[in-house]
Amino acid sequence: MEQARAGEFDAFVTARWPVLLHLARLLVGGDRHRAEDLVQDSLVKLWFVWPRIAEEAPEAYVRKVMVRAAARSGRRLWWGERPVDRLPDVAGADDVSADVAERSRLEAALARLTPRQRVAVVLRYYQDLPEQQVAEALGCPVGTARSHAARGVARLRQLLADVVEPVR
């Protein structure tokens, strides 16, 4: 029985690891190491309830654990990026680094949101979850989750508008 349980769990982890890691990176503001820790800690919690959760919705359970842990971890802020006086060289038109830079810029802006705002924005607009599920994941009423998401989007717009694009 224990072998079958371990096999099912391993198959779930193998199949869903990339998706869970990507979600975790968005939740923690782009730090891959913190994201890996978040996924691993969440999967450990899933292991202990696997017999009960396996047939229902294991990914929803892990997502909920990750969201709550990410929201709690927001108390430990670290400003990993610093503004500079001189901008780096401008990339060419066919350079894919512009896409990477834009993604990095968005992740940096997400990292500057409050943990609950970041979770609400990621779950609502990246994961495309309905407001009710976002509220359940945050453990708050729907109106509060809606407010976190709206304030998060407004703050993202402000943060992303503050960056001056280099003249080409």
pLDDT in tens, 7-22: 888 999 999 999 999 9
CA-closest candidate to residue 55, choices 116, 12, 114: 12
Question: What letter does residue 35 receive in the DSSP assignment?
Answer: H
At residue 167, does pLDDT exceed 50? no
Maximum distance among all Cα pairs of the chain, rounded to whole angstroms: 64
Task: For domain 97-162, give the CATH number.
Answer: 1.10.10.10
| pLDDT score recorded for residue 30 | 82
- DSSP alpha helix (H) spans, the chain: 2-28, 32-53, 58-73, 97-111, 115-121, 131-138, 142-162
Query: Percentage of residues in the chain with pLDDT exceeding 90?
Result: 36
Domain ranges of the chain: 2-73, 97-162
Mean pLDDT of 34-41: 91
92 pLDDT band, cuts 50/70/90, is low
140 pLDDT band, cuts 50/70/90, is very high
- pTM metric for this prediction: 0.54
Q: How far apart are CA 58 and CA 78, in angstroms?
A: 31
CA-closest candidate to residue 37, choices 79, 77, 73: 73
CB neighbourhood size of 137 (10 A): 23
Q: How far apart are CA 104 and CA 13, in angstroms?
A: 26
